[in-house]
Amino acid sequence: MYTSRKKLPPPGSINVKALEHTLLWSASEELAYNSKVHPEVVALTLLGGISAVAQGRFDVKLPYDVIRPVSINALIVVESGYGKSVIYEKVMMPIQRLQREERKKSVLLADDEEDAVTALRSFQLLYKDVTPEGLFASLQRSIPSAALATDEAEVFFKSAMSGARGHLNTLWDGRDTIVMRANKDDIVLEDVRLMLMLMAQPAVVNDFLEKKGALARDSGMLARFIVCAPDKRAEVRIRTLGEKQDSKLWAAVEQRIDKLARLNLSLRKGQVFRQPIEFEHDAASYWIDIVNDIEVEMMPGGRFEHVKDHASKLGENIARIAALIQIFEMKAKITVSTLIAAVELCCYYSMSFNKIFMPAPRFYQDAQILYPWLLERLRSGCQDLSYNVVRQCGPASLRDKARLKEAVDHLVCNGLARVYMDGKTKKISLNIVGTIPPVVINNGDMRFSPYSTWQK
């Protein structure tokens, strides 16, 4: 019997041991190794693919007897050249293959049985470059389940699609919505499922946030996203002649995605029945503890104090991810081990949400750049450095006098450095141990911690 009170895992890296029992993570590690990318990027892409094929036939039943979709909104932010298109194609290939098969069948059937074709809804799961009206109209006449998925999300962020926030939010919630049109019949979407799988470069996301970020944040659209934004590419991709890659686990992944995708074929006949995925008793208790812990962390001083919108959706996103893992593992109910895996993933992705949507102020980011530069000089034997030398020879972004002063002031305020006059020369001295370190220091590198305090 489950009796102990569990807490959210601390911020930091993923506890891989909590995920190793799942095909989701094992296969993600395999593809990540073959493609030289981060497994957490593959895992979220794969979860997006699972959601795309599962949302039309499954729901999740929360411990307080509320039925919710297993649709997720996933955003992966990586630099150009990372390899996101390769991962995207690997995950979506079984769905794309099935769509091509069904289109060919429809063409052949249309020649012989036109009435039979008319009676069937068209089979379209994946949408890429589409207008809001085009997507919603297609959902009305095609199967009532869709994935707006693209490995070039600039199209989404710069189009009217990103402005359809109200409808996107309503469909994520699993509620009905009506698209009002001036000179055409209204589009009524009832019992429809829609998920988003977006991959974009940081510059694309930053441009969107500068122009429309406030509206997207206030509307709650961004709060619904699960975000993955690794710092850099995992490894340099070096290939050798005759190199062989082990893809046994990924072959199993493709088979399961194909099997789940084919369950959606019954939707062509209008047969909309979704199996609710329930929690085992111990898992339900665990989830309640997690949700309560999130609520506590939303209070002043908590890790979610400044991202209450994100935290308010985190518990449900954890439930949805747990259901997707359970569906993919082909098991009946959500177990404690599955829920722990979902919690580990979602809490890790939560850090990326903070990184992308709650970036630290410029002086804090500059201090992150300046500190390791000063530390390296200290290791080289330079105890103190002239202020002007730092400005002239330091990081290029800190050649500006005002920016350098703000960064130094922040280090001084947090006990990591001091400034003093040596005659007429202003110098900077570095303290190895500060009383209130504003960052997480790991092997001499200063890395952004979304849970550290950056306020002066």
255 lies in the same domain as 282: yes
pLDDT at res. 440? 39
Mean pLDDT in the chain? 87
Cβ–Cβ < 8 Å for 53, 261: yes
Quote the DSSP letter at residue 409: H
**In a shared domain, residues 263 and 381:** no
User: Domain for residue 373, yes or no?
Assistant: yes
- For 96-153, the DSSP string reads HHHHHHHHHHHHHHHHH-HHHHHHSPB---EE-S--HHHHHHHHHHB-SEEEEEES-T
The CA-atom distances, in angstroms, between 112 and each of 101, 105, 120 are: 17, 11, 14
Euclidean distance between CA atoms 257 and 156, whole angstroms:
25
Mark which of 357, 380, 408 sits at the end of a domain: 357
Tokens of 173: 């919630």
Query: Token digits for 451?
Result: 């849970």
Task: Answer yes or no: is 452 within a domain.
Answer: no
What is the per-residue pLDDT across 58-73, written as a single tens digit (0 to 9) for each? Answer: 999 999 999 999 999 9
What was the pLDDT predicted at 452? 38
Average of per-residue pLDDT across 187-210: 94
- Domain for residue 7, yes or no? no
Residues 231 and 286 in one domain: yes
Lowest mean pLDDT among 22-36, 113-127, 221-235, 304-318: 113-127
Residue 6: what pLDDT? 52
If we measure between CA atoms, which residue out of 55, 54, 45, 327 comes closest to residue 193? 55
- The pLDDT value given to residue 390: 86
Cα–Cα distance for residue pair 43/76, rounded to 1 Å: 11
Do 232 and 271 fall into the same domain?
A: yes
In whole angstroms, give the CA distance from residue 306 to residue 300: 9
Tell me, yes or no, whether 304 and 413 share the same domain: no
Q: Do 147 and 21 fall into the same domain?
A: yes
Domain count of the chain?
Answer: 2
Pair 395, 266 in one domain: no
Instruction: Count Cβ atoms within 10 A of the Cβ of residue 42 and give its class: 0-12 exposed, 13-18 middle, 19 or more buried.
Output: buried
| In a domain? residue 3 | no
CA 292 – CA 297 distance, rounded (Å): 9
Cβ atoms within 10 A of the Cβ of 189, count?
21
Lowest-confidence region among 176-185, 214-223, 360-369:
360-369
Asked whether residue 289 falls in the same domain as residue 412, the answer is no
pLDDT at 416: 86
What pLDDT score does 242 carry? 63
Q: Are residues 333 and 320 in the same domain?
A: yes
Q: What is the pTM of this model?
A: 0.80
pLDDT of residue 234: 54
Residue 185 lies in a domain: yes
The residue written with tokens 């893809």 in the block is 247
Length of the chain: 456
Supply the range of the domain harboring residue 82.
16-357
Q: In the structure, what pLDDT confidence band is assigned to residue 302 with cuts at 50, 70 and 90?
A: confident
Does residue 115 carry a pLDDT above 60? no
Return d(Cα 441, Cα 267) in angstroms, integer: 53
Q: Is residue 24 part of a domain?
A: yes
Domain edge (last residue) among 311, 333, 357: 357
Q: Which residue has the higher pLDDT, 197 or 13?
A: 197
Looking at the fold, whether 345 and 369 belong to one and the same domain comes out as no
Residue after which a domain boundary falls, among 334, 357, 380: 357
Q: Per the domain annotation, does 322 fall within a domain?
A: yes
> What CATH number did the domain enclosing 431 receive?
1.10.10.10
Handedness of CA 176, 177, 183, 184 (dihedral sign): negative
One domain, residues 227 and 296: yes
Q: Are residues 287 and 391 in the same domain?
A: no
Q: How many CA atoms lie within 13 A of 204 on its CB side?
A: 20
Q: Which residues pair with 77 in a beta bridge?
A: 200
Does the structure show a pLDDT above 50 at 445?
no
For 78, residues 6+ apart whose C-beta sits below 8 A from its C-beta are 41, 84, 199, 201, 202, 229, 230, 233
Structure tokens that stand for 54 in this block: 């599962």
Confidence class of residue 300 from pLDDT cuts 50, 70 and 90? confident
pLDDT at 198 over 50: yes
When pLDDT is cut at 50, 70 and 90, the band that residue 111 belongs to is low
Four-point Cα dihedral 289, 44, 355, 283, nearest 10: 0
CATH code where residue 228 lies: 3.40.50
Domain assignment present for residue 11? The answer is no
